[in-house]
Structure 1
């Protein structure tokens, strides 16, 4: 082939490409999302016990059996197509009996409040003991951790002490750190808090490894909560890289955020357009970085155990879960055992409704044939379909 320039110097491009691959691994066409929990369950530290997960699962299963007698009720309550309702019903019951909580957070922040120092110290030790018992019994969720107090509250020493004491007890009792651990870092109103917290984790990591006599290597990562409009201003794709990979996720805090921008109480809800804006900023900032995203919660429980009240709660929660999924947020917070039923039912229905069609479109692309229905897929769409199938496989397994 005839050319004009000959050999083109590419050194500058190569450096940019290396940076791109490190910063945006999700831009690689072969990248697929790994397992991500569909929810995070928050339990106040003073109410957390070794049997908490089993208790939540038992209460959720009892509600499902009482108020979802069969597929017809699933179709009616959650708006699931009748053809999918039997599979959703069966999967929900099985999930609640087998793994009701995928991600657990022991809350030392808003759900716990301000306590005397000695009381918080004691609760941190007690929580660590419960974690060790769960690890021994095989009941510790695949993802777990704690939420510490915010640096924005003006007492970072308290936050650090709780985290230090909790992890020291856990690692000593377990002979290391059980897999799946992550710290939730709330109310990040200043960008400077992020490197400060990452540095705290690095120092604590080294100290814990020394305490174990070098028998185990630890890697402490955290998820930052987006709970204020100020936070949106410094969300960028290079954050995870700058924090040396310690930033695992960003979680949206609906009530602090909507209060901070002055929404009236009745409008402090996940499906408010202001929350959509915040979610889209998060999606844009972290696209391709591998940083996981999670939505917030519904601050409501059934008004009573009556079928009408339970189903009303499930319908509202399912609306919010569907809204999150439609906006690209595949994880959210659950604050009451009843939420587990509507969470899993909505997630399963979401994935099952499109799974076969997505798989056929990917196969058609790979086989260089028409997918049917007049669909003309672009390569980017195929990558999205493949990623959606990978996420569905993880959620439905």
Structure 2
């Protein structure tokens, strides 16, 4: 083989490699960092007073007092330190993401649909959302109102003077086919053009609630394209679809479906959001003049429900979920606490130390090194460093890591720091 032949082979291989890299890069969504702030999806009916959901966490102290409970009592029942639970309540009371629901939470009547559209449009346009992600769930494909839900709400909010379009993403329910997602994406594209919005301004998430949807997850995600900003798991309809005798959070079939969803979300670079815990922390007995036994039963029932949602959240975190769907302020509180305990300050300190230790090892010429101390020592290389950095990047998105520190470590960009 001559040098000219080898040079030609090398040049062809380099061109082919560049083409492969360019094609593969598009498979992962370039998702703005703020879309990773979906630890809690607080769902509220679009009709009524949906703006209350924007400060749902402010209701927690009042609800606890009504039940003769305290942060310390709940923490003791869960077997955790009270500090993470208390720290969640130190903020402005806003959940990371609020979903205005015009689907399951709305009666299937023309008047109920009208009220939901009107309530959603007013809340998106007029309420103070702060940094909360703004999500809207219209009726699904099988319901006649699905198109009107989108066209009415999106055009209505566009007429209000705001700095940015006040809806971040559409949550499409009960999806089963890729052509359905393509149809929704096409409708959003036409509405964006009609409203003078940049292409792709309105992101898209979809709700996986059936066996067919789980089976078609890669195709569904591909059909969503660069609009995709999350995939959400719905356990109740899925359990009915495959004939489970009960809705059980840790059923092997449900965990298998979760893992499929998590893998697809990971392949696309978007958050995977876990299902709702259906056991709401609501009292058994209501009204004035409850007996001591009735108040004790209320506390026991609520504590059991809080333990369940906390355990469900930790179960999802261990599998790789990035958030959880909730429908009650106390659920939102406990899920946020679960995510804080998953990235506790001591874990962040270890991660930061490990990044620095690996950086020093690389600077010294090592591709791999043993870092950490004592029982926590492990072999670090590019793969393990990437894992630690991914965890810290998520911590920055969640407000648990100083943005300046995250920027200095190369975990976020200057534009992302401005978002935080």
TM-score, normalising length: structure 1: 0.84
Count the aligned residue pairs: 369
1:164-313 pair list within 5 angstroms: 164-175=151-162, 177-179=164-166, 181-209=168-196, 219-236=201-218, 242-265=223-246, 268-304=247-283, 306-313=298-305
- What's 2:60 paired with? 60
Distance 1:372 1:149 in 2: 54
**SS of the residue 2:105 aligns to:** coil
Equivalent in 89, 92, 98 of residue 93 of structure 1: 89
Equivalent in 149, 153, 168 of residue 139 of structure 2: 149
- What's 1:106 paired with? 100
Distance 1:349 1:271 in 2: 20
Contact 1:128–1:167 (CA under 8 A) maintained in structure 2: yes
Residue 371 in 1 paired to residue 372 in 2? yes
Cα gap change, 1:49 to 1:302, in 2 (>3 Å) = closer
Distance 1:320 1:217 in 2: 37
Equivalent in 376, 393, 397 of residue 394 of structure 1: 397
Cα gap change, 1:88 to 1:276, in 2 (>3 Å) = same
**SS of the residue 2:44 aligns to:** strand
Structure 1 vs Structure 2 CA RMSD: 2.8
Displaced runs of 4+ in structure 1, greater than 6 A?
A: 31-34
Cα gap change, 1:24 to 1:133, in 2 (>3 Å) = closer
- What's 1:123 paired with? 116
Contact 2:204–2:229 (CA under 8 A) maintained in structure 1: yes
**Aligned-residue offset at 1:170:** 1.1
Q: Show structure 1 runs of 5+ residues with no match.
A: none
Distance 2:224 2:307 in 1: 40
Cα gap change, 1:262 to 1:239, in 2 (>3 Å) = closer
Cα gap change, 1:239 to 1:378, in 2 (>3 Å) = farther
Equivalent in 10, 19, 22 of residue 18 of structure 1: 22
**Aligned-residue offset at 1:218:** 7.1
Contact 1:148–1:159 (CA under 8 A) maintained in structure 2: yes
**Aligned-residue offset at 1:32:** 8.4
**SS of the residue 2:349 aligns to:** helix
TM-score, normalising length: structure 2: 0.79
Contact 2:214–2:260 (CA under 8 A) maintained in structure 1: yes
Distance 1:343 1:61 in 2: 16
The one of the two structures with greater contact order (alpha-carbon pairs below 8 A, sep at least 6) is 1
Distance 2:303 2:46 in 1: 29
Q: Show structure 2 runs of 5+ residues with no match.
A: 284-294, 362-368, 401-420
**Aligned-residue offset at 1:62:** 1.9
**SS of the residue 2:388 aligns to:** helix
- What's 1:354 paired with? 347
